[in-house]
Structure 1
Amino acid sequence: MTAGPPLLVTGLPRSGTSWTGKMLTAGRGAVYVNEPLNPQHPPGHSPGVLRATVTHRFQYICDDNAHDWLPALRDTVALRYRFGAELRANRSPYDLARMLKYGTAFTLGRLAGRRALLDDPFAVLSAAWFAARLGCTVVALERDPVSFVASWQRLGWTVSFHELLGQPLLVRDHPELLELGPLAGSPDRVARAAALWRATHRILARTPGILVVTYESLAADPVAGFRRLYGHAGLTWSPAVERRVARACTGGGGPERGFAWSGLSRTAYRRMDSRQALSGAAQGLTPEDVTRVRALTAA
């Protein structure tokens, strides 16, 4: 059986990539691969999944450095798991359990003709390369900027702009990132998150060969939204898939409880009411913060 093109679901972290990726595997036509470009361990630094060394968050991949990445990512999207490399890097029983999980999923998926689905927010700035060189069908999630910044604030997240600005090829191809420079050492996490959202939004808007989808449109009507995504990706939509998606998107739990850092994947999905997840989007921000985020992210 011949598999179709691999899939990449990307977007800034906290934009709904894990949820979307899980829903796109509800039809059993794709194998979920969690964040191979995450520089942390886990889920990154897994040579069985990706035989390449990730050194930066939002590691930039383009034709100028493709010799370092193309062979490894071709193995990943072909679901060729490197057991020997993973065994040599194993450090704990957890690593062994994860090797068995992913090794089995890759092998069975390849034999069944399934497609690789990479859920990787850290690939968002390299989305054009994934589409052009790996032939990926790319879906990029974008969340409303107030909801995005509020989510990062609630979790206490930030990102070092030095990791972005210190990649010359990335800045060359995405000069929008230069506007992050004045905020590189700023303690203003709201302004930093808003600036990252704005730069990424502008980059995605001009990136060829990808589909940009808003988190809010999917959450408001998940069955219709995912039916359209299945069609775009060439995945089979069926009554069984519709039931699975409907059940998964109408469960209990608030917006921050939709996913939990547990299990082997570290992003285990839990049922959530996706419409309820839209309420309280600005929680964690003051009214003044909301006004400022709107101003900072305006086109």
Structure 2
Amino acid sequence: MTGTAKRPILVTGLPRSGTSWVGKMLQAGGEVVYVNEPLNPSRPPGRSPGVLNASVTHAFQYICEDNEEPWLRAFRDTARLRYHPLAELRANRALPDLARLVKNFSAFTAGRARGRRALLDDPYAVLSAAWFARRLGAVAIVLVRDPVTWSGSWRKLGWTTYFHELLEQPLLARDLLGEHAGELRALVGSQDELAKNAALWRFTYDAVDSMRKNTESLHVVRYEDLAGDPETRFGELYATCGLTWDASARRAVREATQAENAPTRAMSWSLKGGLSRTAYQPMDSKAALVTYRDRLGEEEIARVRELTADVRARYYDA
């Protein structure tokens, strides 16, 4: 294996940092098979042993050399686009599950036959990105989004943070939590969502900063750079991933990020069928950079910036 040819691609970062958007834009070139959130602890898209034949026990599952045995075997199969239909049938037999089985089995089988690479879009893999790069040979793309716009997106969706998912993982506490453990523990059960968001963002990207210093194939990409100049920045990202940036890929990115192609009416969301509230949709990528103004007040914006200032400076003030 030379360069990036045939290596799996991991696109990660905290949920709502743009992983689905970036994954779909990288898929547009036709050289990868898109694999949606195998480490998501919710079903769907997670808990699908056909896609990942291992048991996910926590959100933001931490994988390292000390607990890798079941993960290495399972993710090697996923990276090789080897689907496990019998394992899927044993776990999930409802009609929607059978439809997903057919879709995923077909995509994996066709992709393997055509020599395509696996692209894992998984924000729940962010704390394990270095392991993916080291042990699977993945090109790991970690997206970082400004904590203010990211917090605004979480508020819009009404999301909250459950820090016990992090604190209950001893190897994560040993390797990455460090000085953050006390802060996260103090916020368990808190109703102060902005403080919880800031703490999660600060811890995660402090950990990412540590990982990228020691992992050659881990690349941090700012959401704002991609959204501000999609054609140029995605061209660079294609090169980083070893994908072909041709006229077709360029056109797909342009059409998916221009204002005239953004939805002109509210979407009809459904969590039981159809689109999820977080599914990728064509958008005006530049306009998406300022949506936080409608979601957070000035004092809240200032507070998020203050709470995350030390880590944010490493990504946005350098």
TM over 0.5: yes
**2:205 is equivalent to residue 201 of structure 1:** yes
Q: Aligned partner of 1:197: which letter? A: W
Match of 1:159 in 2: 161
Report 1:209-220 matches (<5 A): 209=216, 210-220=218-228
2:19 and 2:92 mapped to 1: Cα distance?
Answer: 27
Match of 1:146 in 2: 148
SS at match of 1:64: coil
Which of 93, 96, 101 pairs up with 1:94?
96
**Root mean square deviation, CA, Å:** 1.9
Match of 1:253 in 2: 263
**2:284 is equivalent to residue 276 of structure 1:** no
* Structure 1 unaligned blocks of 5 or more: none
Match of 1:295 in 2: 306
Pick closer, same or farther for the CA change 1:267–1:91 going to 2, 3 Å: farther
1:43–1:265 Cα contact (<8 Å) kept: no
**2:243 is equivalent to residue 227 of structure 1:** no
* Structure 2 unaligned blocks of 5 or more: 311-318
Number of aligned pairs?
Answer: 296
SS at match of 1:135: coil
TM-score normalised to the size of structure 1?
0.94
SS at match of 2:148: helix
Pick closer, same or farther for the CA change 1:26–1:176 going to 2, 3 Å: farther
TM-score normalised to the size of structure 2?
0.89
SS at match of 2:17: coil
Match of 1:184 in 2: 188
Deviations 1:155-204 (A, max 9, x none): 11012101101101001110254131211221100100011001111111
Deviations 1:206-236 (A, max 9, x none): 2123111111110001111100000000001
Match of 2:14 in 1: 12
2:294 and 2:253 mapped to 1: Cα distance?
Answer: 27
Pick closer, same or farther for the CA change 1:201–1:9 going to 2, 3 Å: same
2:78 and 2:277 mapped to 1: Cα distance?
Answer: 19
Deviations 1:135-155 (A, max 9, x none): 100000011010011111111
* Structure 1, 98-107 or 84-93: larger mean CA deviation: 84-93
Deviation >3 Å, runs of 4+: 259-268
2:205 and 2:22 mapped to 1: Cα distance?
Answer: 19
* Structure 1, 268-277 or 61-70: larger mean CA deviation: 268-277
1:171–1:177 Cα contact (<8 Å) kept: no
Match of 1:127 in 2: 129
* Structure 1, 87-96 or 221-230: larger mean CA deviation: 87-96
Q: Aligned partner of 2:189: which letter? A: G
Which of 64, 67, 72 pairs up with 1:65?
67
2:270–2:276 Cα contact (<8 Å) kept: no
1:154–1:284 Cα contact (<8 Å) kept: yes
2:20 and 2:65 mapped to 1: Cα distance?
Answer: 27
Pick closer, same or farther for the CA change 1:154–1:267 going to 2, 3 Å: closer
2:50–2:88 Cα contact (<8 Å) kept: yes
1:77–1:115 Cα contact (<8 Å) kept: yes
Pick closer, same or farther for the CA change 1:162–1:154 going to 2, 3 Å: same
Shift of 1:269: 2.8
Match of 2:251 in 1: 243
Pick closer, same or farther for the CA change 1:91–1:21 going to 2, 3 Å: same
